[in-house]
Amino acid sequence: MRPARALIDLQALRHNYQMAREVTGAKALAVVKADAYGHGAVRVAQALETEADGFAVACIEEALELRAAGICAPVLLLEGFFEADELPLIIENDFWCVVHSLWQLEAIEQAKLNKPLTIWLKLDSGMHRVGLHPKDYQEAYQRLLASGKVARIVLMSHFARADELDCVRSDEQVAVFEAARKGLSAEVSLRNSPSVMGWPNVGSDWVRPGIMLYGATPFGEDQAVAARLQPVMTLESKVICVRELPAGEPVGYGARFITPKPMRIGVVAMGYADGYPRHAPTGTPVLVAGQRSQLLGRVSMDMLCIDLTDVPHAGLGSTVELWGKNILASDIAVAAETIPYQIFCNLRRVPRLYCGD
């Protein structure tokens, strides 16, 4: 059996969720969209259900998967509904629903619903992706109440640059939000992972931890809360071949690496078809047989090469950590010029094994 696998530490997951609550004092929706950022939405939700205030997903398909697995906690649809005919399913499964567009508001007004909805009313406070315009926000709130089809409204927005700790844009967005919601009596949700970790002065009754749940930092620099996170996923495989090469020999496709001296090369069963970033360059860190080493040459579909020259005790069958508790996913992301969100979401073909239940 191919040795590539992803080990998911559910105790670390719970630690990170509890930290989101601890540093904010707020209720927390665990964001499990995109299959829990590649960690397995059902198993992640099961691990958190006894303590989570609820979950957040992108769409109704993801929410229905949780309900089918027996998850009874609140589930928020972060993109709301895409067609009005989803509303009966939302009611039937007791999902919470974001409203970010006037057409969604109008669909609710026109719908025949047998019980009221919980709505999270989203304001575009400056990200300019989705959300109601500030001039429409108060009226939308009043129309939802007047419809008689809404039991509860949470006011929300989303930061565009909270991962930039010295950027004033988040403060500007808070000011837009506060002006738009003036006089409205409802709970508030503003903070995602970067703002949970780096913006303690932003008020929020509900927070929405995502990437921090999985133990990765959204920041490009050291940060106090990030230092306390525990990595949840360890991606590992084994050395399946060892080559002894003289100086001047090319390694891998395109001869991107030429041995500068006699070297010992390990071939690892891991490639971009598993989700390891193809653009990770020579020098990207790995851990082999407990010792730090590096990637050599171009990543292939199913294999990659690492340096065993200075790891004499490593050889055929040695375990290689591609990222995890020793090699941080955020460091791999920096090397590959991407972000840890994409690193995790790209995981595929690799079996997930869970511990810490």
Contacts of 95 (CB under 8 A, 6+ apart): 60, 63, 74, 75, 76, 77, 89
User: What does the chain come to in residues?
Assistant: 357
157, amino acid identity: S
Sign of CA dihedral 274, 279, 281, 285: negative
Of 17, 33, 272, 341, the catalytic one is 33
Gap between the Cα atoms of 115 and 88, Å rounded: 10
End-to-end CA gap in the chain: 25
3-state per-residue secondary structure call for 123-178: ECCCCCCCCECHHHHHHHHHHHHHHCCEEEEEEECCCCCCCCCCCCHHHHHHHHHH
In the residue annotation, 253 being an active-site residue is answered as yes
Gap between the Cα atoms of 190 and 170, Å rounded: 10
Gap between the Cα atoms of 4 and 281, Å rounded: 20
DSSP-H helix ranges across the chain: 10-24, 33-37, 41-48, 60-68, 87-92, 102-110, 134-147, 169-180, 193-198, 329-335, 340-345
C-alpha angle 310-313-315 in degrees, rounded to nearest 5: 95
How many CB atoms are located within 10 Å of the residue 244 CB? 11
In the residue annotation, 33 being an active-site residue is answered as yes
> Per the structure block, which two tokens stand in for 77?
């649809």
Of 17, 149, 253, 354, the catalytic one is 253
Provide the annotated active-site residues.
33, 253
